[in-house]
Amino acid sequence: MKPITASFLERFIYDNLQDETMSRTTKKIGKMLRFFHADEAADRSALDSPDYARGLSFGERWSGTPVAEADGSPVPAADNPLWKYFCEHEEGPGIWKWTHYFDVYHRHFARFRGQKANMVEVGIYSGGSLGMWKDYFGRNIHIHGVDIEDACKCYEDQQTTVHIGDQEDRSFWADFRTKVDNIQILLDDGGHTPDQQMVTLEEMLPVMPPGSVYICEDIHGVSNRFTAFAAGLVTLLNAQNTEPGPIPVATATPIQQSLCSIHFYPYMLVIEKNAVAPSRLEAPKHGTEWQPFLG
Ligand SMILES: C[S@@+](CC[C@H](N)C(=O)[O-])C[C@H]1O[C@@H](n2cnc3c(N)ncnc32)[C@H](O)[C@@H]1O
């Protein structure tokens, strides 16, 4: 007999969410499983190549240098203001985050603190993260929260605009772009399915200004389709259109001009855009003494 896996249960419950005979609790379990296993049942062939299989196998047999083991989940740095806010936030609107996200946020968001900027957070839920961003970035930030649930409209205030819509709907984003521009920070913490994540990135990353940062979180499961999508972008970042000459010079492709870096963390993708677009990438040599073996 086949074992009943979390993915199977999740799919069964989620497929039957409209069934009125299913209790509220069962529906809640289904939604929760969906949250944690968004793509575990994903197509294993999403990243199908011998080299991908080799990396996967290398990782599965991992025997790297042991490091000191923490007692529990990663603990963000004590002086991380977001972590401090989260730890002290014991009452009021709920915030729901993986603990290891806090250091990633601070690493990529710190330069925007105190600056005049626009942030989009897809996925509002109980509104607590909106308060955290306002506290962290300061008075000059304007937050555009996006959620599919009308109930989230109640989190609007002077610094926060709430947009109700489906992040997987391209026409929602087309309309959004007519109302909001110049978004320096976009955090996708919405429905977490690969299609929602891909549509959101395709619709919004290209229009974000130079120097902006895009984070997609909750990319769950091995061979996740959104990971495969992001790997496509990584591949293009390494394009090498070299020109003949004494030193390696490569004409920057549109992606290399636009994107500065792509970072993967557990369940997270971070993309930073260049502040100034390079027209080429080059590797000059400095020094006068060279070994003969490389010509
Ligand atoms: C994980 S919660 C957000 C948590 C919140 N950012 C926090 O830190 O506490 C996910 C939210 O995404 C919303 N959501 C789910 N599917 C969506 C979709 N297709 N478009 C927009 N929002 C969606 C849900 O209604 C829910 O409020």
183 pLDDT more than 90? yes
Is the per-residue pLDDT at 276 higher than 80?
yes
**Looking at the DSSP assignment, which residues form a beta bridge with residue 186?**
120, 214
Pocket test for ligand 1, best of 86, 130, 146, 147 (most atoms within 8 A of CB): 147
pLDDT in the model for residue 38:
41
Strand ranges in 49-199 using DSSP code E only, listed in sequence order: 117-122, 141-147, 160-164, 185-188
Pocket test for ligand 1, best of 148, 162, 170 (most atoms within 8 A of CB): 148
pLDDT value at 79 more than 60? yes
Q: What percent of the chain has pLDDT over 70?
A: 84
Whether residue 248 contacts residue 282, with contact meaning beta carbons closer than 8 Å, is answered with yes
pLDDT reported for residue 248: 86
124 touches ligand 1 (CB under 6 Å): yes
Ligand 1 neighbour 146 (Cβ under 6 A): yes
Decide if pLDDT at 254 tops 50. Answer: yes
Ligand 1: which of 154, 160, 189, 203 to mutate, most ligand atoms within 8 Å of CB?
189
31 has a pLDDT exceeding 80: no
Q: How confident is the model at residue 267 (pLDDT cuts 50, 70, 90)?
A: very high
Given the structure tokens 């930030």, which residue do they identify?
Answer: 141
Tell me what the pLDDT averaged over the chain comes to.
87
Say whether pLDDT at 244 is over 70: yes
Cα–chain center distance at 185: 11
Q: What pLDDT, on the 0 to 100 scale, is given for residue 63?
A: 86
> So what's the pLDDT on residue 16?
44
Cβ of residue 196 lying under 6 Å from some atom of ligand 1? yes
Residues in the chain: 295
Structure confidence by residue, pLDDT tens digits, 166-179: 999 999 999 999 99
DSSP bridge pairs for 188:
122, 216
Q: Evaluate if residue 11 carries a pLDDT over 70.
A: no
160 lines ligand 1 (CB under 6 A): no
In the chain, the percentage of residues whose pLDDT exceeds 90 is 71
Phi, psi of 125 (to 5 degrees): 55, -105
Residue nearest to atom 16 of ligand 1 (CA): 191
Q: What is the pLDDT of residue 5?
A: 41
pLDDT at 110: 98
Q: Is the minimum distance from the CB of 127 to ligand 1 under 6 angstroms? A: no
Q: Kindly report the protein residue whose alpha carbon is nearest to atom 11 of ligand 1.
A: 123
240 Cα to the center of ligand 1, angstroms = 39
Question: Whose Cα sits closest to atom 26 in ligand 1?
Answer: 125
Q: Would you state the structure tokens that stand for residue 221, as one six-digit string?
A: 């499961």
Task: List the domains of the chain with CATH numbers.
Answer: 1-37 (no CATH), 81-282 (3.40.50.150)
Of 146 and 50, which is predicted with more confidence?
146
Q: How confident is the model at residue 2 (pLDDT cuts 50, 70, 90)?
A: very low
Q: In the 8-state DSSP scheme, what is residue 157? A: B
227 or 19, higher pLDDT: 227
Check if 148 has its Cβ closer than 6 Å to any atom of ligand 1.
yes
Give residue-wise pLDDT tens across range 184-220. Answer: 999 999 999 999 999 999 999 999 999 999 999 999 9
The arithmetic mean of pLDDT across residues 132-156, rounded, is: 98
Q: Supply the residue whose CA is at minimum distance from atom 15 of ligand 1.
A: 191
* Rounded Cα distance, 80 and 205, in Å: 27
What is the secondary structure of 258-292 as a DSSP string? HEEEEEEETTEEEEEE-SS--SEEE-----S---G
